[in-house]
């Protein structure tokens, strides 16, 4: 049976070239970057090379602004908890944080936990029906003790792209006027943005940026957080002081090196990638329309990264379609991989203002750079059989 994976927003395979680049760090240049001997030096050079690649493409001022972590979840926790603890314990200010109702769980739950512990004040911006966050809505929520705004770049369930640059510009203007108040820092979770969007931190006007390896054809176990150099923060993981004292523990050298290679290969082709994703998406969408019309799109077709297509099938529960597709060799998702096992209606669809029923009847298809139209034909064929009875 043919198998077609359409869940690239959950994770991607590691690119063959990346695997080759990583290999020597498992058993030849396997040293600990903190060791002084040749093995250690070779590992340290690999980490430095990786950092240089990110410095170049993210357009950071210095190497110290790139901090490697183990996952985007960790990077997001680093920012949210690190800034919260810094303001609470060093500045004796109870911080106010503004985020959105369409963040990944690693932001959403972290914020919720801190709020439940009464450690932060929190406001969440509602998106419009298409999943777009209106920048002005953020501005309306700013208070004297606002210290952080965190907005997802590419939404992982519906694929909408948020106006990060615009928000960055507006916050810059606001900060100019906050003379005796804490400056508002701006974080974006760009875990889903690495294949298609601009990540130049100066152009975006962000102070923090989360990026993940396993969404861009790199290995799992590596991610980074960009932190503008003059920002003070308390580290989450303390120890011998790796990553400029901000994230201790022995570096995952093969994964970090592979992450940088994947980023270099795919980020530099982001315009091409986006074009290809749109082509695949439109082909797929038109294919479905040709035999079945009782569906609607969650999110926006225009303001999208292209690789994610979320559809509401009015006559079918998503679980039913997902299981039938799986039996036909096709892998898709109901929502983000993290919430699917809990079998709950997707919170993002609910956050758009839709019903529980719609949330339970929505499916996420996400395309890969190696997905071919023939693969989509196979999925369309399977869908045609599955949807046939309730046309």
Ligand X SMILES: Cc1ncc(COP(=O)(O)O)c(C=O)c1O
CB of 191 to ligand X, least distance (A): 3
Q: CB nearer to ligand X: give 102 or 325.
A: 102
User: Which residue is catalytic, options 88, 141, 237, 338?
Assistant: 338
By rule CB under 6 A, what count of residues binds ligand X? 13
What 3-state DSSP class applies to 314? Answer: coil
CB of 338 to ligand X, least distance (A): 6
User: Residue 20's CB: how many other CB atoms inside 10 A?
Assistant: 11
CB of 89 to ligand X, least distance (A): 26
Residues 6 or more apart whose Cβ sits within 8 Å of residue 359: 345, 346, 347, 349, 350
Q: In the chain, which residue ranges form alpha helices assigned H by DSSP? A: 16-27, 38-58, 72-85, 105-116, 135-139, 164-177, 201-204, 253-267, 270-289, 318-327, 337-340, 347-351, 356-360, 373-387
- For residue 305, indicate whether it is catalytic: no
**Residue 336 makes contact with ligand X by CB under 6 A:** yes
Residue whose C-alpha is closest to residue 305's, from 161, 164, 200, 165: 161
R_g of the chain computed on alpha carbons: 21
**Residue 308 makes contact with ligand X by CB under 6 A:** no
Pick the stretch among 185-193, 286-294, 353-361, 377-385 that binds ligand X (CB under 6 A).
185-193
Scan residues 104-163 and list those touching ligand X (CB under 6 A).
104, 106, 152, 156
Q: CB nearer to ligand X: give 9 or 142.
A: 9
Scan residues 261-290 and list those touching ligand X (CB under 6 A).
none
**Residue 71 makes contact with ligand X by CB under 6 A:** yes
Neighbouring C-alpha atoms within 13 Å toward the C-beta of 338: 13
**Residue 333 makes contact with ligand X by CB under 6 A:** no
DSSP secondary-structure letter at 363? E
Task: Kindly tell me which residue out of 162, 212, 298, 335 binds ligand X, with binding defined by CB under 6 A.
Answer: 212
**Residue 170 makes contact with ligand X by CB under 6 A:** no
CB of 255 to ligand X, least distance (A): 11
Length reported for the chain = 391
Cα→Cα distances 334→205, 299, 347, 348, Å: 33, 15, 11, 11
**Residue 206 makes contact with ligand X by CB under 6 A:** no
Q: CB nearer to ligand X: give 160 or 192.
A: 192
DSSP secondary-structure letter at 103? -
CB of 9 to ligand X, least distance (A): 7
Scan residues 338-377 and list those touching ligand X (CB under 6 A).
none
| Residue ranges binding ligand X (CB under 6 A) | 71-73, 104, 106, 152, 156, 189, 191-192, 212, 223, 336
Catalytic residue numbers read 338
């Amino acid at each position: 049976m043919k198998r077609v994976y359409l869940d690239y927003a959950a994770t991607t395979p590691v690119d063959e070239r990346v695997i080759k680049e990583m290999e020597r760090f498992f058993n030849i240049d396997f040293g600990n970057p903190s060791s002084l001997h040749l093995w250690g030096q070779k590992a340290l050079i690999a980490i430095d090379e990786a950092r240089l690649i990110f410095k170049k493409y993210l357009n950071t001022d210095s190497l110290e602004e790139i901090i490697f972590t183990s996952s985007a979840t960790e990077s997001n926790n680093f920012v949210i908890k690190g800034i919260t603890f810094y303001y609470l314990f060093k500045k004796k200010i109870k911080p106010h944080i503004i985020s959105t109702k369409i963040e990944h769980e690693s932001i959403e739950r972290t914020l919720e936990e801190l709020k439940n512990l009464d450690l932060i004040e929190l406001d969440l911006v509602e998106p419009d029906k298409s999943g777009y966050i209106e920048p002005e809505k953020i501005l309306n929520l700013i208070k004297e003790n606002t210290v952080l705004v965190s907005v997802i770049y590419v939404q992982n369930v519906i694929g909408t792209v948020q106006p990060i640059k615009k928000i960055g510009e507006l916050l810059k203007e606001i900060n100019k006027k906050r003379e005796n108040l804490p400056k508002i820092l701006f974080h974006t979770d760009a875990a889903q943005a690495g294949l298609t969007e601009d990540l130049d931190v100066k152009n975006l006007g962000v102070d923090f940026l989360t990026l993940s390896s396993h969404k861009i054809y790199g290995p799992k176990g590596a991610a980074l957080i960009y932190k503008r150099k003059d920002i003070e923060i308390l580290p989450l993981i303390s120890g011998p002081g790796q990553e400029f004292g901000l994230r201790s523990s022995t570096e995952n050298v093969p994964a970090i090196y592979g992450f940088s290679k994947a980023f270099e290969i795919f980020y530099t082709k982001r315009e091409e990638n986006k074009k290809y994703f749109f082509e695949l998406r439109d082909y797929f969408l038109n294919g479905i329309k040709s035999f079945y019309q009782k569906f609607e799109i969650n999110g926006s077709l225009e303001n999208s990264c292209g690789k994610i297509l979320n559809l509401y099938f009015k006559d079918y529960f998503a679980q039913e379609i997902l299981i039938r597709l799986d039996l036909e060799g096709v892998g898709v998702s109901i929502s983000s991989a993290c919430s699917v096992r809990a079998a709950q209606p997707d919170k993002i669809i609910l956050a758009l203002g839709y019903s529980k029923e719609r949330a339970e009847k929505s499916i996420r298809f996400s395309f890969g750079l190696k997905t071919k139209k023939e693969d989509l034909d196979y999925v369309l064929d399977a869908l045609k059989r599955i949807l046939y009875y309730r046309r």
